[in-house]
Amino acid sequence: MFESVDLASRPNWKLRVTCATIVLVLVAVLVWLLRMTQMPLRSYVGPLSPLTAEQSGIRDRLSSDVNYLSVTVGDRSMERAGSLQRTTAYIRENLQLAGYAVSDLPYQVGGQQVSNLEAILVGSGTAQGAVVVGAHYDSVAGTVGANDNATGVAATLELARLMKGSHLRKTVRFLFFVNEEPPYFQSENMGSRVYARHLRHENVQVSAMISLETIGFYSDAAGSQKYPPVLSLFYPNRGNFIGFVGNPESRDLVRRSVRRFRESTPFPSEGVAAPSEWPGVGWSDHWSFWQENYRAIMITDTAVFRYPYYHTPHDTFDKVDFDKAARVVDGVHRLVETLANEP
């Protein structure tokens, strides 16, 4: 009554199965990429309004800090004797002037003592988990590191100034890390690695970590922005935005941060939550917090993917756009306050 059907004998059966499989794989990849790249709200588009009086003050203080770090001190590395000590003395003095007690957190590298610096803004304790805001203060040996990463240090100092006196639910820890650059990068002697490991050992809860990394270079020129493979399909080719970068485990933090920035700050912004192994995704101090299973993101101008002077002696004070950096810091200020007041 019924005849058996040999599907394998049907014409093109194998081809159809292969095509269907390819389509399913492509759809799965597209869904994965969209989950990685799609952020809440829209990036700001349009002319930038004149700086407010507060933003002008931020700009001037950023400029002063970057000038001291990159011009007066210059090369900030273990290879240049005394440079790290001069840098920490400057950071400590400015934090103390802002009203903070400053903790030196020393450790040994190759028989030399180096230090992370920490200043704490104590919250009310009505919400759990500290917010960590940090930047590395060293530069690649032989460079003055104006953008990488004197801009991040200056931004962290300015956030500490702006937030002093704020009444927050969570404690905010301002960190200044040593030895982020090679040969210490992603090693046991990286300053942020030492600090994050210490927090985990002491069972300190961290609800969010923000690494401020190379935030001072912007370009409206077509083709000025590059990306790791594939991501160029989802992002603009002009390097005029600030980036929020996290790993998949920190995706919610990336999205919340982008949303708050876009709600409050008329400045272009993009976000991504990509695998930490992808080029650029883990290239700063937030990586150290991922190793201890803390949620962490990097805020950056994308460094090597935009900045032609990255890790060269030409990374100098005159390359930094302080007007735009001030707008970014103003927006990050509101973001950090929001994170520190979450339940």
**Confidence bin at 2 (pLDDT 50/70/90):** very low
Task: Output the pLDDT for position 19.
Answer: 82
> Strands 112-121 and 242-246: what pairing?
unpaired
Q: Is residue 166 part of a domain?
A: yes
The string of pLDDT tens digits covering residues 300-321 is 999 999 999 999 999 999 999 9
User: Bridge-partner residues for 245, per DSSP?
Assistant: 272, 298
The total number of structural domains in the chain stands at 1
Backbone phi, psi, residue 131, to 5°: -105, 125
User: Bridge-partner residues for 173, per DSSP?
Assistant: 120, 132
DSSP secondary structure letter of residue 283: -
**Confidence bin at 14 (pLDDT 50/70/90):** confident
* CA–CA distance, 62 with 211 (Å, rounded to integer): 17
Q: Which residues, including other chains, have CB under 8 Å from residue 151's CB and lie 6 or more apart?
A: 62, 66, 212, 214, 215, 216, 320, 325
186, burial (CB in 10 Å: exposed 0-12, middle 13-18, buried 19+): middle
Q: Is residue 57 part of a domain?
A: yes
Q: Is residue 326 part of a domain?
A: yes
The string of pLDDT tens digits covering residues 206-231 is 999 999 999 999 999 999 999 998 89
- Domain range holding 141? 48-340
The string of pLDDT tens digits covering residues 248-282 is 999 999 999 999 999 999 999 999 999 999 999 99
* CA–CA distance, 198 with 185 (Å, rounded to integer): 18
Q: Pick the residue with more confidence: 98 or 28?
A: 98
The string of pLDDT tens digits covering residues 279-299 is 999 999 999 999 999 999 999
| Mean local confidence (pLDDT), 324-332 | 98
* CA angle centred on 47, ends 42 and 49, rounded to 5°: 105
Whole-structure pTM value: 0.93
Kindly state the tokens that stand for 226. Answer: 């590059």
Q: Is residue 28 part of a domain?
A: no
Q: Is residue 217 part of a domain?
A: yes
* CA–CA distance, 288 with 175 (Å, rounded to integer): 13
Task: Output the pLDDT for position 11.
Answer: 57
Residue 25 has pLDDT above 80, yes or no: no
Query: Under DSSP, is residue 29 helix (H, G, I), strand (E, B) or coil?
Result: helix
What CATH number has the domain bearing residue 52?
A: 3.40.630.10
Backbone phi, psi, residue 109, to 5°: -135, 115
Q: Is residue 9 part of a domain?
A: no
Handedness of CA 315, 317, 321, 327 (dihedral sign): positive
* CA–CA distance, 97 with 157 (Å, rounded to integer): 11
Q: Is residue 121 part of a domain?
A: yes
Q: Is residue 24 part of a domain?
A: no
Residue with tokens 């009444």: 167
Percent of the chain whose predicted confidence (pLDDT) is above 90: 88
* CA–CA distance, 259 with 42 (Å, rounded to integer): 9
